[in-house]
Amino acid sequence: MCGIVGYIGNKNTKEILLSGLKELEYRGYDSAGIAVLQNDNFQSYKAIGKLVNLEEKTKNFITDNFAIGIGHTRWATHGKPTELNAHPHTGESSYVVHNGIIENYAKLKKELIADGVRFLSQTDTEVIVHQFEKNLKSTSTAFDAFSKTIKKLEGTYAILLVTKSEKESIFFAKHGSPMLVGTNSENEKYFASSDAPLIGQCNDVNYFEDGDYGYVNIDELTIFDINGEKKEPIFTKLSQNKLSAQKDGFRFFMEKEIYEQGDVIADTLMGRLNDKEIIFDELDDSLFDGINEIKLCACGTSYHSALSATYLFERYAKIKTSVEIASEFRYRKPIMSKDTLFVVISQSGETADTLETLKMAKKVGLKTLVICNVDNSSMVRLADTCILTRAGVEKGVASTKAFATQVTIFWMMSLYIAQRRDSLGTKEISRQISLIRAIPTSVKVKDSLHERIKRLSKRYLHGHGFFFIGRDIFFPLALEGALKLKEISYLHAEGYPSGEMKHGPIALADPELFTIALLPQHLLYEKSKSNVEELSARDSTICAISALEFDKADDFIKISSHQDYMLEFFEMMVVVQLLSLEISVRLGNDVDMPRNLAKSVTVE
Ligand code: AGP
């Protein structure tokens, strides 16, 4: 998730921008930059890696009187983390920073190149500043050019733009990505993509709403709404607690990351589908040439998302698919054939076991693909090609939104491969795409659901263990739910195929055995239900998660009724994530930094 800052005032603009970006470091980034207009001159600096590199580059740059400035930390979604791809992006006399994804950037870029514009970067953002400067030639004011530019954009954005054509103003626009503006008694104006950079600088802030755009100068803040009607800012008091601000007011980063799964998945989908087809610009058409099998390899939560992919790939793409636990695969002298596409999955892109299996596959000449959340990571640099999940930084050690975006990518990939293998009719592909578009809604946390889980969690603080059970693709979800609980509550839990319970584990059935049963309405419901009834008949304590009432359960968590089992999957995912979080909270554990665990296991 990128970070944005902006400032208008007489203080040390460079220092204000850099310290603002430092407050946004927690969001994760791979490059950063600033642009400042003072004394009629623009100065812009960009650097890859940490902010200290940008500080080093700007150490001799003095900003000691009135200036306007913008700054940005970038989390790569389009284009590698390089200086050229870092923001701000520039035209001839303007600079822009942007959070979000411009979905129609390819079309705009093509038009601009046809007009003779020379692009320097691979990013979607750069089209904004060139489109603005194109519009400058046909409008009477810079703001008219900016308004015209915003109207052409599709997708999500938080934008700050500065230009020599209007030397005392910052232009802004917000749609789908957060941004706020603050002011203080000295009439300074501060922009940021979240609260933290404004704390200590200003007390009154206006949170922009989707569709807001306008301009600010030292004297005034002018906002227009999505219909082009002028609107008054609504100032509220800014909280002064930085850590709380970084968590956007949530108790834990993990909780914040569960709640932001809808927004994050919307980014994952952005530019990768239309009503008829799935599009992965990052994949070369030849990737699947000569491929008859897919082998997935990962660890932990990423292994669980990979396991879910085996169901989707074989069911929709009709391609033989298998999955391996990386730490096992690397030592069992596996047979690998050239017609296998080797796919590694990793949030961090640094997990030692997974990285080693990628090296093994490359060594024997297999085509390799990595599904990853961190551009420029070891696996991204090593694999033949990469699909970025765009989950943004995941601070909670227990993975949530990374898992959600991985499964989303796999559902899309199953259709993408089906398109190429003609294994699904166009009508079914379109139907599945309309379901995929509903994922963000299915993972939105309902207060009533969270409250129910919070209350219910008090009953599950002891006992001699948990089973999470599910059938088909709900088995990987059961594994994931069990892992979440283990990781942050330190209670023992096992994920198990529902149909396997009678082959031994049912011997454990008694009131102290807690079973979290995943009962999707649209996938093997009756089979799953009878497995749960076997346990209930032996007095196990059952917590059923389903859209359908289930009277044999001791506890019942009702989810929405969905059109398809995959949307049930995503809503049940949120339930098991929240259940583990609330049990951990009751046990007084460190939800974000559980004992013995690291966010990325870079050793064997
Ligand atoms: C997930 O909650 C755990 N933190 C852990 O299992 C993790 O998924 C595993 O270490 C793999 O990490 P990666 O996705 O970064 O490769």
Q: Which of 186, 190, 218, 219 is nearest to 206 (CA)?
A: 190
Q: Whose CA is nearest to atom 4 of ligand 1?
A: 398
What average pLDDT score do residues 510-532 get?
A: 95
* CB 269 within 8 Å of CB 437: yes
pLDDT of residue 583: 96
pLDDT of residue 524: 97
Q: Whose CA is nearest to atom 6 of ligand 1?
A: 300
* CB 406 within 8 Å of CB 372: no
| Catalytic position from the list 318, 362, 552, 599 | 599
Instruction: Report the C-alpha gap between 378 and 376 in whole angstroms.
Output: 7
300 lines ligand 1 (CB under 6 A): yes
* CB 213 within 8 Å of CB 146: yes
Q: How far is the CA of 121 from the centre of ligand 1 (A)?
A: 32
- H helix or E strand, kind and range, residue 565: helix 565-586
Tell me the residue type at 584: S
Give me the torsion for CA of 315, 321, 323, 329, rounded to 10°: 170
What six digits make up the tokens of 580? 């583990």
473 pLDDT above the threshold of 80: yes
Per-residue pLDDT band at 137 (split at 50, 70, 90):
very high
25 pLDDT above the threshold of 90: no
Question: Which ligand 1 atom is the nearest neighbour of the CA of 601?
Answer: 10
356 pLDDT above the threshold of 80: yes
* CB 304 within 8 Å of CB 479: yes
The pLDDT tens digits for 27-71 are 778 899 999 999 999 999 999 999 999 999 999 999 999 999 999
pLDDT of residue 596: 82
Per-residue pLDDT band at 77 (split at 50, 70, 90):
confident
Task: Find all residues with CB under 8 Å of 277, minimum gap 6, and list them.
Answer: 419, 429, 433
408 lines ligand 1 (CB under 6 A): no
What six digits make up the tokens of 10? 């007489």
Instruction: Report the C-alpha gap between 357 and 325 in whole angstroms.
Output: 10
Ligand 1 pocket, mutate which of 343, 399, 604 (most atoms under 8 A from CB) = 399
User: Would you call 415 helix, strand, or coil by DSSP?
Assistant: helix
Ligand 1 pocket, mutate which of 301, 405, 490 (most atoms under 8 A from CB) = 301
Per-residue pLDDT band at 79 (split at 50, 70, 90):
confident
Q: How far is the CA of 561 from the centre of ligand 1 (A)?
A: 31
Q: Provide the β-strand partners of residue 134.
A: none
User: Would you call 267 helix, strand, or coil by DSSP?
Assistant: helix
What six digits make up the tokens of 512? 């102290």
If you search the block for the tokens 């913008």, which residue do you land on? 70
Q: Whose CA is nearest to atom 3 of ligand 1?
A: 398
Instruction: Report the C-alpha gap between 443 and 419 in whole angstroms.
Output: 27
Ligand 1 pocket, mutate which of 257, 323, 343, 351 (most atoms under 8 A from CB) = 351
What six digits make up the tokens of 579? 């259940």
325 lines ligand 1 (CB under 6 A): no
Tell me the residue type at 326: A
pLDDT of residue 111: 97
* CB 472 within 8 Å of CB 311: yes
26 pLDDT above the threshold of 80: no
Q: How far is the CA of 401 from the centre of ligand 1 (A)?
A: 12
Q: How far is the CA of 468 from the centre of ligand 1 (A)?
A: 19
Helices assigned H by DSSP within 285-425: 300-312, 326-329, 352-363, 378-382, 401-421
469 lines ligand 1 (CB under 6 A): no
Tell how strand 340-346 and strand 367-372 pair up: parallel
Q: How many CA atoms lie within 13 A of 186 on its CB side?
A: 11
Q: How far is the CA of 302 from the centre of ligand 1 (A)?
A: 6
Domains and CATH numbers, the chain: 3-246 (3.60.20.10), 255-441 (3.40.50.10490), 445-587 (3.40.50.10490)
Instruction: Report the C-alpha gap between 121 and 118 in whole angstroms.
Output: 9
Q: How far is the CA of 21 from the centre of ligand 1 (A)?
A: 28
The pLDDT tens digits for 385-404 are 999 999 988 989 999 999 99
pLDDT of residue 601: 79
User: 2 φ, ψ to 5°?
Assistant: -70, 170
Query: In this predicted model, which residue has the larger pLDDT, 315 or 245?
Result: 315
The pLDDT tens digits for 418-462 are 999 999 999 999 999 999 999 999 999 999 999 999 999 999 998
Length of the chain counted residue by residue: 604
Q: How far is the CA of 338 from the centre of ligand 1 (A)?
A: 28
The pLDDT tens digits for 538-567 are 999 999 999 999 988 999 999 999 999 999
Question: Which ligand 1 atom is the nearest neighbour of the CA of 402?
Answer: 14
Instruction: Report the C-alpha gap between 594 and 514 in whole angstroms.
Output: 22
What is the crossing angle of helices 447-456 and 565-586, to 10°? Answer: 50
* CB 477 within 8 Å of CB 576: yes
> Residue 52's CB: how many other CB atoms inside 10 A?
10
Q: Whose CA is nearest to atom 5 of ligand 1?
A: 300
Radius of gyration of the chain (CA): 25
494 pLDDT above the threshold of 80: yes
Q: How far is the CA of 352 from the centre of ligand 1 (A)?
A: 11
380 lines ligand 1 (CB under 6 A): no
348 lines ligand 1 (CB under 6 A): yes
Instruction: Report the C-alpha gap between 518 and 35 in whole angstroms.
Output: 52
Q: How far is the CA of 600 from the centre of ligand 1 (A)?
A: 7
Instruction: Report the C-alpha gap between 25 and 42 in whole angstroms.
Output: 25
1 pLDDT above the threshold of 70: no
> Residue 233's CB: how many other CB atoms inside 10 A?
18
600 lines ligand 1 (CB under 6 A): yes
Q: Is the omega angle on the peptide bond into residue 505 within 30 degrees of 0, that is, cis?
A: no
* CB 69 within 8 Å of CB 20: no
Ligand 1 pocket, mutate which of 601, 602, 603, 604 (most atoms under 8 A from CB) = 601
What average pLDDT score do residues 513-528 get?
A: 96
Q: Helices (H), strands (E): how many in the chain?
A: 19, 25
**Core vs surface per residue 478-508: b (16+ CB within 10 A) or e:** bbbbbbbbbbbbebebbbbbbbebeeebbeb
User: 439 φ, ψ to 5°?
Assistant: -60, -50
599 among known catalytic residues: yes
The pLDDT tens digits for 97-135 are 999 989 999 999 999 999 999 999 999 999 999 999 999
Q: Whose CA is nearest to atom 7 of ligand 1?
A: 300
Give the burial class of 274: count Cβ atoms within 10 A of its Cβ; 0-12 exposed, 13-18 middle, 19 or more buried: exposed
Mean pLDDT for the chain?
94
